Amino acid sequence: MNKKEIIEILNQDLQDEHGAIIQYLVHAFSMGEGELSCEIEAIARDEMRHLDWLAETIVELGGMPSLKRGKQNMTGKTVSQWMGNNVGLEDGAIESYKKHIKIIDDPKIKRLLKRILADEESHRGDFAHFVDKAAKEQMKDKRGKRSDKTSKTLDWGIAHEYTVILQYMFHSYMTRNKEAKKQLEDQAINEMQHLGWLSEELVDGGGTPVIEHTTVNKSTKLKEMLTADLKTEKEVAAKYDAAAKVTKDTGLKKLLERIRDHEKYHIDVFNDLMKEEKRK
């Protein structure tokens, strides 16, 4: 099997990890705060690590990580039904990884896929347990149909955060600058926190988070990456600031101001990276 074929297979796995991350986060946010939602978010973080490992391997092989979302099953009205869907998603992942382990002959990649497979088998067992736990506790979907200026602001923030998570991670995979790579990863992790805060705020207020991204910049040269990232951060910091000024909800105001200040920090970080790059 040549590198191109391996890259194609790994991108299929990466896309499915991406799909699983979003599915599990939507479930965690939609059931409200609690022990089970925390456990599901922990599983989503495992899938994020898988995505990261796969993306880094794809780049090492000379490929480009896909940003598409793979298999998902977002049906079901109860938490127990969602957990059953998650079992099915893990069954599909287990089947795919076993197949790919057999057909890929690179020992290093085989080892990586076996490592990921072990996690997926564990996740399947967790979700099977969660089916019964959620049914026993009669856990329900806590999302509502709120649609007002506040919910639209939160929806906008969620779409932005999801977009820059993908953008900064993609840029981190494609750059060879170690410091830039580290900083892009760090800021992406911070944006993941924002996504969670905004989604939980929306559910608590009777809304329904829609986790969809807008256009992702796919530059592969560091100056172009940072130019795009700085432009985005400056625009978004201003929008969060404006939204914080008009809201009458003191809790939301504090959240928006906190995120705004984080975005300003990102601007400083990216400006420093840009200055260093221009000196070269």
Q: Note every long-range contact of 190-194, with CB atoms under 8 Å and residues 24 or more positions apart, other chains counting.
A: 190/262, 190/266, 191/161, 191/164, 191/165, 192/48, 192/161, 192/165, 194/157, 194/161, 194/259, 194/262
pLDDT for position 201: 96
How many CB atoms are located within 10 Å of the residue 181 CB?
Answer: 16
User: How confident is the model over 101-153, as pLDDT tens digits?
Assistant: 999 999 999 999 999 999 999 999 999 999 999 999 999 999 999 999 999 99
Please check whether the domain covering 3-136 is classified as CATH 1.20.1260.10: yes
User: How confident is the model over 209-264, as pLDDT tens digits?
Assistant: 999 999 999 999 999 999 999 999 999 999 999 999 999 999 999 999 999 999 99
User: How confident is the model over 170-182, as pLDDT tens digits?
Assistant: 999 999 999 999 9
How many alpha carbons fall within 13 Å on the CB side of residue 65? 33
Instruction: Please give the C-alpha separations between residue 148 and each of 42, 206, 271, in angstroms, as whole numbers.
Output: 31, 11, 36
- Residue found by looking up tokens 């984080």 in the block: 262
Phi then psi dihedrals of residue 78, to 5 deg? -115, 160
Cβ atoms of 244 and 260 closer than 8 Å: yes
How many CB atoms are located within 10 Å of the residue 77 CB?
Answer: 9
Question: Can you read off the two tokens belonging to residue 219?
Answer: 């530059």
H helices of 217-249, in order, are 222-246
Cβ atoms of 226 and 277 closer than 8 Å: yes
- Residue found by looking up tokens 């040269």 in the block: 221
Please check whether the domain covering 149-279 is classified as CATH 1.20.1260.10: yes
SS3 at position 41: helix
Residue 280 has pLDDT above 80, yes or no: no
Nearest to 190 by CA among 217, 160, 223, 161: 161
What is the pTM (predicted TM-score) of this model? 0.95
Looking at the chain, the whole-number percentage of residues with pLDDT higher than 90 is 98
Q: What is the rounded average pLDDT of the residues 39-57?
A: 98
Q: Where in the chain is the domain with CATH 1.20.1260.10?
A: 3-136, 149-279
Instruction: Please give the C-alpha separations between residue 191 and each of 56, 112, 149, 186, 258, in angstroms, as whole numbers.
Output: 20, 27, 22, 9, 12
Cβ atoms of 162 and 211 closer than 8 Å: yes
